[in-house]
Structure 1
Amino acid sequence: MPVLWLVLIILGLAALGFIMGRQRALKSAGGDSRKLHSLPNYYGANVALSVLVPSFGVLIVWLLAQPMLIDRAVSAMIPPELIPENTTTGLVMSDVRRVAEGLDVAVEKGAMSASEANSVRSEFTDLRARLGDVGVALGQDVRPEVLRAAQRYRTLNATGNMALTIVICLVAVAGFINALRHCTAEYRARNVVERAILVILMAAASIAILSTIGIVLSMLFESVNFFGLHRWTDFFFGTTWAPNFRGDSELSILPLLWGTLYISFIALLVAVPVGLFAAIYLSEYAGSKTRSFAKPLLEILAGIPTIVYGLFALLTVGPLLVKVFGQGDNGLLGVEWMSGATSVLTAGIVMGIMLIPFVSSLSDDIINAVPQSMRDGSLGLGATKSETIRQVVVPAALPGIVGAILLAASRAIGETMIVVMGAGAIAKFSVNPLESMTTITTRIVSQLTGDGDFASPETLVAFALGLTLFVLTLGLNVLALYIVRKYREQYE
């Protein structure tokens, strides 16, 4: 049974349980709700939760565990000679799943029966021809061992889905009956429901923490595999980034880290002055009508997709910079310092524009949090409005402003699409902002794109780069929180 149908059955049974639980509780009290320990809705909610929570819990665990168990069982059927050298069974298992999907399509189109698809047949050539008749692209290089593994995969998957349907229905019905039995006037339904809601809220609050831990562990394990194949000294202290799949790659993070920090620095040079000045104007000088119009208009920049910024960098900012710094004698400066539209300056300017609302919005909120009494006191001592802003308001809000800048820096370091389209793909050390460079995020995308071997250092290096980037951005976020908490002023 499809998972959607299971979900609808569970929801329907929970709705029925809510109605019946409420009615049964009222019936046990002779129709007088005042004789009940809890309100009638609590009894209905108890039945509904008894159906929903165990059923969805088993469903989620089952859907996570079944693919892993099936892959482990099927991978044991694959002969070692079918596994390419210096790789894992992952590539072969992808073929197995593709063939299994082809068998499903063949059954749906009537090219064969379900029993034929699940049986291990020796007439492999005839079977492949029959699948080809219905347009199932299994390819000409599928071996009989892969087909048998695919048939086993399909059988186990069907068995697992059937068992899932039975188990979920039994769990839901058991929860329904058990909760319905407790719908009596003396039962403390409110206490049970409130404890259940508390557990659900705690589980929801834990998802972010568990997700972060899972992301870190997944990158950490693959990074350990990478450092088992490649020298860590070359990764952290080398000076060349030159990946290839011939076994002599030079995979140093330093050129990528330089490009990342250089582009982020230029982006902050654009975003911080503009964003901070905009925040000061909106909070201190602009009237209510101007503020209500200008601030939402400024924050629209934060909602523009980064791919749009990348196109803007590639089609507008880059060619504009080429007209100024390139084209030789035909350029505005009469020199040719820039050979193409992609450069560090192109990506930095556009990324800075993207970061303006991050800096301005956070700084505006922080400046507005400074008490009006401090402004009034400064003005009362004879300071002008501009002196009050420079010497009172901005220093009081400075820790929060620094935190906002560091958060914007974290956002710049993790940007990908603008760099891909605006900065180029050359990893090197250079201080010339008119040259093309690349960043860590761009190389992660490049190394994981295509049919890469996930057991080779050229592919696994993406996880080491990701872990390093995670540590870098985490450090900036922690530093921002530390500055804000240590130096912020507490106002009444």
Structure 2
Amino acid sequence: MPEFALVLILLLLTTFSFFWGRRRSLVVSNGDTRKLNSLPGYYGYYVALWCGIPALLIFTFWHFFESTVITQFIISSFSGDTASLSKQQLNLVLNEIRNVANGNIPAANVAAEISAAADYYQELQHISSTAITIITIALAMIGATFAWSRIHTQQRARNKVERVIMVFLILCASIAIVTTLGIVLSVLFEAIRFFQAVPITNFLFGLEWSPQTAIRSDQVGSSGAFGAVPLFTGTLLVSAIAMTVAVPTGLMTAIYLSEYATPRVRSLSKPLLEILAGIPTVVYGFFAALTVAPLIRGWGASLGLDVSSESALAAGLVMGIMIIPFVSSLSDDVINAVPQSLRDGAYALGATQSETVKKVIIPAALPGIVGGILLAVSRAIGETMIVVMAAGLAANLTANPLESVTTVTVQIVTLLVGDQEFDSPKTLAAFALGLVLFIVTLILNMIALSVVRKYREQYE
């Protein structure tokens, strides 16, 4: 049976179980719900959960491990010559068997042994599909019958249902934690392998970045230079220029729209401003490379300055324009969330509108404003496309915004483009860069939280 059809049957059985359990509770109470420990709906949910959860768990478990089990049966059926193949050769044979079984390769075009294995593979798939269908439906019916038989007037159905819901909520909340932990560990392990080949001091304090290395011993190539200081400098330079543009402009825009603009101006201006957030970054990259960079180069030439065709200033300016909606929209929402009573109190004490904004509204909205700025900083640090098209790939150690620079994220993408073997310092350097970027972002968040906590306590 197709998986979609089986899931649909499980949903129908679960829905039927709800009404079946609810009706059972009304029967045992003789229609008087006051005799029941819980509302009738909870008894329906109790039966539905017993029907759906065990069957769904078995179905999910089998879905993940079905391919592995079938593959092991196929391997065990191989003759001596095929069984003695290397791991890579064995994977090629298995892929060919799957393609023949799925009809991607005609059986007449392959060896007889492969064709027989493909037939066996189809047979195992049919057996597996039949077995999981029977087991899942039978388990759902057994679970529903068991829960239905345990319904009585003193049963605490609400407590049991809410306990299951609580476990589900905890599992959902744990997904973010487990995912973050998995990302950190995966990056950390690969970064440790990189630091075993390249000293961490050379990476953190080296002034030259040239990750091109010889992959094989007989290949001519550079030994590589993995000093990441030029990358960190370029990232900070471009991000600083972007935030210099985005933070004042976005914050002033939010203050104007929330405190000074008329409803008509606000209703027109805010949607137009937020359109900037929906423009793809590659479009911003084209704008930076084809319009902003030549314009800056022309202005620099008129002033006698030597401006590179790809500069940190062009990338930073366009990135700042892109980030303005993040700052303005979040700050506007936070400022509007400040209670009107605070404004009325300030006006009652004789404060002007400007004084109210500076002394009351901004301190009250400061935690949200700092959160919006943090989001903008993270957006600036993680931006890649604009930097590639407007700032270039040259790892120059410079603080001059008129020169070409590169950033950490750009180099991560560059190192991982194409087919890579994750056993050379060149490729593993991307994980080291990611780890450092993660640590720096974590430190910035901790500093921001401490600042927000300090000002919040002062305001309260």
Q: Distance in 2 between matches of 1:335 and 1:257?
A: 29
Q: Distance in 1 between matches of 2:90 and 2:451?
A: 50
Q: Aligned partner of 2:235: which letter? A: T
- 2:437 match: 469
- Displacement of 1:307 after TM fit? 3.1
Q: Distance in 1 between matches of 2:230 and 2:127?
A: 52
- Displacement of 1:263 after TM fit? 0.7
In the alignment, is residue 250 of structure 1 matched against residue 230 of structure 2?
A: no
Q: Distance in 2 between matches of 1:151 and 1:249?
A: 52
Q: Taking structure 1 as reference, are residues 371 and 95 closer, same or farther at Cα in structure 2, changes over 3 Å only?
A: same
- 2:13 match: 13
Q: Distance in 2 between matches of 1:227 and 1:18?
A: 57
- 1:350 match: 318
Q: Distance in 1 between matches of 2:119 and 2:305?
A: 63
Q: Distance in 2 between matches of 1:25 and 1:335?
A: 88
Q: Taking structure 1 as reference, are residues 279 and 5 closer, same or farther at Cα in structure 2, changes over 3 Å only?
A: same
In the alignment, is residue 192 of structure 1 matched against residue 160 of structure 2?
A: yes
- 1:132 match: none
Q: Aligned partner of 2:169: which letter? A: L
The answer to whether the 8 A contact 1:400-1:488 is kept is no
- Displacement of 1:281 after TM fit? 1.2
Q: Taking structure 1 as reference, are residues 109 and 118 closer, same or farther at Cα in structure 2, changes over 3 Å only?
A: closer
Q: Distance in 2 between matches of 1:189 and 1:4?
A: 31
String of CA shifts for 1:217-258, please: whole Å, max 9, x gaps: 121222222223332222222122212240522223222111
| Matched ranges for 1:151-166 at <5 A | none
Q: Distance in 1 between matches of 2:92 and 2:322?
A: 42
The answer to whether the 8 A contact 1:406-1:477 is kept is yes
Q: Aligned partner of 1:278: which letter? A: T
String of CA shifts for 1:431-470, please: whole Å, max 9, x gaps: 2223222111112122222110022222222222112211
- 2:220 match: none
The root-mean-square deviation of aligned C-alpha atoms, in Å, is 4.0
Q: Distance in 2 between matches of 1:159 and 1:336?
A: 76
The answer to whether the 8 A contact 1:223-1:460 is kept is yes
- 2:22 match: 22
Q: Taking structure 1 as reference, are residues 114 and 429 closer, same or farther at Cα in structure 2, changes over 3 Å only?
A: same
- 2:307 match: 338
- 2:170 match: 202
Q: Taking structure 1 as reference, are residues 115 and 3 closer, same or farther at Cα in structure 2, changes over 3 Å only?
A: farther
In the alignment, is residue 297 of structure 1 matched against residue 294 of structure 2?
A: no
Q: Aligned partner of 1:299: which letter? A: E
Q: Distance in 2 between matches of 1:486 and 1:429?
A: 36
- 2:386 match: 418
Q: Distance in 1 between matches of 2:148 and 2:440?
A: 54
> Which is worse superposed, 152-161 or 26-35?
152-161
Q: State which of 195, 205, 223 in structure 2 corresponds to 1:227.
A: 195
Q: Distance in 1 between matches of 2:119 and 2:408?
A: 42
The answer to whether the 8 A contact 1:407-1:476 is kept is no
- 2:218 match: none
Q: Aligned partner of 1:281: which letter? A: Y
- Displacement of 1:276 after TM fit? 1.6
When the two structures are superposed, what TM-score results if normalisation uses the length of structure 2?
A: 0.81
The answer to whether the 8 A contact 2:211-2:225 is kept is yes
The answer to whether the 8 A contact 1:46-1:189 is kept is yes
Q: Distance in 1 between matches of 2:363 and 2:292?
A: 35
- Displacement of 1:195 after TM fit? 1.5
> Which is worse superposed, 36-45 or 375-384?
375-384
Q: Taking structure 1 as reference, are residues 389 and 181 closer, same or farther at Cα in structure 2, changes over 3 Å only?
A: closer
In the alignment, is residue 449 of structure 1 matched against residue 417 of structure 2?
A: yes
| Matched ranges for 1:10-159 at <5 A | 10-30=10-30, 33-63=33-63, 98-99=95-96, 101-106=98-103, 111=108, 117=114, 119=116
String of CA shifts for 1:347-378, please: whole Å, max 9, x gaps: 21121112112222333344445566665676
How many residue pairs get aligned? The number is 449
User: SS of the counterpart of 1:488?
Assistant: helix
Q: Taking structure 1 as reference, are residues 455 and 335 closer, same or farther at Cα in structure 2, changes over 3 Å only?
A: same
The answer to whether the 8 A contact 1:100-1:154 is kept is no
Q: Distance in 1 between matches of 2:36 and 2:26?
A: 8
Q: Aligned partner of 2:327: which letter? A: V
> Which is worse superposed, 101-110 or 12-21?
101-110
Q: Aligned partner of 1:479: which letter? A: I
Q: Distance in 2 between matches of 1:430 and 1:75?
A: 58
The answer to whether the 8 A contact 2:101-2:119 is kept is no
- Displacement of 1:280 after TM fit? 2.0
Q: Taking structure 1 as reference, are residues 111 and 450 closer, same or farther at Cα in structure 2, changes over 3 Å only?
A: same
The answer to whether the 8 A contact 1:407-1:480 is kept is no
Q: Taking structure 1 as reference, are residues 386 and 27 closer, same or farther at Cα in structure 2, changes over 3 Å only?
A: closer
The answer to whether the 8 A contact 2:26-2:40 is kept is yes
- Displacement of 1:428 after TM fit? 1.8
Where in structure 2 are there 5+ consecutive unaligned residues?
A: 216-222
User: SS of the counterpart of 1:431?
Assistant: coil
The answer to whether the 8 A contact 1:444-1:466 is kept is yes
The answer to whether the 8 A contact 2:47-2:148 is kept is yes
Q: Aligned partner of 2:10: which letter? A: I
- 1:138 match: none
- 1:273 match: 248
% identity of equivalent residues: 51
When the two structures are superposed, what TM-score results if normalisation uses the length of structure 1?
A: 0.77
> Which is worse superposed, 57-66 or 39-48?
57-66
> Which is worse superposed, 315-324 or 47-56?
315-324
Q: Distance in 2 between matches of 1:251 and 1:160?
A: 52
Q: Aligned partner of 1:4: which letter? A: F
- Displacement of 1:335 after TM fit? 4.7
In the alignment, is residue 282 of structure 1 matched against residue 257 of structure 2?
A: yes
Q: Taking structure 1 as reference, are residues 485 and 17 closer, same or farther at Cα in structure 2, changes over 3 Å only?
A: same
- Displacement of 1:261 after TM fit? 0.9
Q: Taking structure 1 as reference, are residues 51 and 257 closer, same or farther at Cα in structure 2, changes over 3 Å only?
A: farther
- 2:283 match: 308
> Which is worse superposed, 274-283 or 482-491?
482-491
String of CA shifts for 1:254-289, please: whole Å, max 9, x gaps: 221111111100000100111121122123221233
Q: Distance in 2 between matches of 1:235 and 1:430?
A: 18
Q: Distance in 2 between matches of 1:26 and 1:427?
A: 75
Where in structure 1 are there 5+ consecutive unaligned residues?
A: 84-88, 121-149, 327-332
Q: Aligned partner of 1:264: which letter? A: S
Q: Distance in 1 between matches of 2:208 and 2:184?
A: 26
Q: Distance in 2 between matches of 1:459 and 1:266?
A: 30
